[in-house]
Structures are given as structure tokens and as C-alpha cells.
Amino acid sequence: MCDNYLFIGNPGTGKSTLLNCLVGEHVFDTGVSYGSGLTRDLQQITHQGAVYMDTPGLADRQVRRRAADAITIALRQAGSCKIFFMVRLQYGRVHSEDLATIETVLDSIDMEDIPFAIVVNNVKSRQYAAMSEKGEEFLNVVTLINSSKYTTPYIVFIPTLDSLEEKDNQCIELPSDVDTFLRYEAPSAIVPAGRVNTIPLEQYTRIVDNLREQLEDLRNNNAALRQQMEELMKKPRFVEVLVNVVGMAASAL
């Protein structure tokens, strides 16, 4: 049975470039995106026994319904599927549109505790250095990323790579820790096609607005952020994965 690598994310998150790097050649078109993404439909290839899928983003209003249909088709693919959601991190801020995409897509699957992973791509050098320390700032960002109703400890941070910056249709060898995470450490899920329903787009804008307010409150209220963090750490295997997969020291928790 082939593994499916399904990447879901909004315009400008770097899905297509990351997929090219995973495959090792230019197979998905990439380029600078101004509001509307280059990917308009489900694109997929089979490479060395694995299926790689690129989907359009829900935040792109011009193709939102089309994007939702493409994601639904991808989720209904047979086989073991690694589901990756792309999230942007800028100046310590997480985009509410990215978290709303996670919530909206997973709401369409009639299953509990669906395993998925998050890729925080194109992290600037100063922010990446802070994330690499796996200290308080790292935990704060992990908490913000997990502020929607679906949570995961499987998170990887990818630094801005100069050889890819603002260049079209490029691919390079990924950092070894990133490659290992994507191929081997990220969880797999088997999602029966009959459990995948139509993505409820009518709720997307409301979810974006609610998450924007929630993120702002967490950023400005240390007590609320700490409480959210403590609740996360109580979830089954959350701490175990942070220590054994993400590489955080147990003493820091």
C-alpha cells in the first residue's frame, strides 16, 4: 500500500516548493503568490511508490469551493495518508486563516482523533533560532498553533532557505531533520472515503474571525496562554511526542 503525502495550506505557505523538494525534482509549479495561489486543482504524482498531493488553499476566495472539492477528493484517496497542514509564523504571530483551514477540513471527516502534522515553513532566521532552542518561546508558539479545536504535537519548523527564496520551480535537498520528520516521524492515518463529507465552507469566515480574536487574547494574556498550555500538556502522548519526536527536553516542560 502506497503512502499518500497530502499537503493542505493557503496561498504563500510553500506547499508546492516543499513537495518538489521531497520528490527531488520540479513536478509542481511554484512562484510568488499575490493573494491567489498558483495551485487551482488537486495535483498529484506517484514517485517511488508514494503519492504526493498538492491542493489549493481555502483562504483563496476566488477558488474556495473548487479548493474544498479538491481537498475532499484527496482525503478520499485510498491508502495510508500523512496529512500535513501548512501554517505561517511571522513575528511570533500565527495566521488565523491557517488554523481555520485545519478546523474546517477536519470538521468534514467523521472520525475522532485524526492524526495530522503541522509544517511551519519559511521561518526567518531569528525566529527559527528561538524555535530551535525548544524553550519558552517555542512552547508559546506550539500553544498558539494548537489554539483551535484540533491539536497535534507533531510540528516541524523549516527555516527560510536562501537557495529557494523568491525563486520559481526550485528544489533542493531538505535539512535532514525536516526530511526525517516528513517521511518517517509524522503520523499516518487511514481515512475511509465514506467518512469524508463535504467541507462546510459556510463556517470558514466565522471560524477565521473567532480564531483571530482567540489568538489575540492569548498573545496579550499570559495567564490565558499558560492555562491553554497546561491543558495541551495533559493530552495523551502530547508531551511524549514533544520530547521523543520534536526534540524538546523533558526538563523544559
- Rounded CA-CA distance 253/12 in Å is 33
Q: Return the pLDDT at 30.
A: 61
164-215 pLDDT per residue, tens: 655 555 678 899 999 999 999 999 999 999 999 999 899 899 999 999 999 9
Q: Return the pLDDT at 34.
A: 41
Which residues, listed in sequence order, are joined to residue 118 by a DSSP beta bridge? 85, 155
Q: Return the pLDDT at 226.
A: 96
CA distances from 13 to 8, 95, 118, 190 (A): 9, 11, 12, 25
Which residues, listed in sequence order, are joined to residue 90 by a DSSP beta bridge? 93
Residue with cell 513537495: 19
- H/E/C letters for each residue in 124-172? CHHHHHHHHCCCHHHHHHHHHHCCCCCCCCCEEEEECCCCCCCCCCCCC
Q: Return the pLDDT at 165.
A: 57
Q: Return the pLDDT at 17.
A: 87
Map residue 202 onto helix, strand or coil.
Answer: helix
Residue with cell 527564496: 165
- pTM value? 0.91
Map residue 46 onto helix, strand or coil.
Answer: strand
Query: What are the structural domains of the chain?
Result: 3-252 (3.40.50)
Q: Which residues of the chain have pLDDT under 70?
A: 1-2, 30-40, 78-79, 163-170
- Rounded CA-CA distance 145/229 in Å is 11
Q: Return the pLDDT at 36.
A: 45
C-alpha cell at 100: 481555520
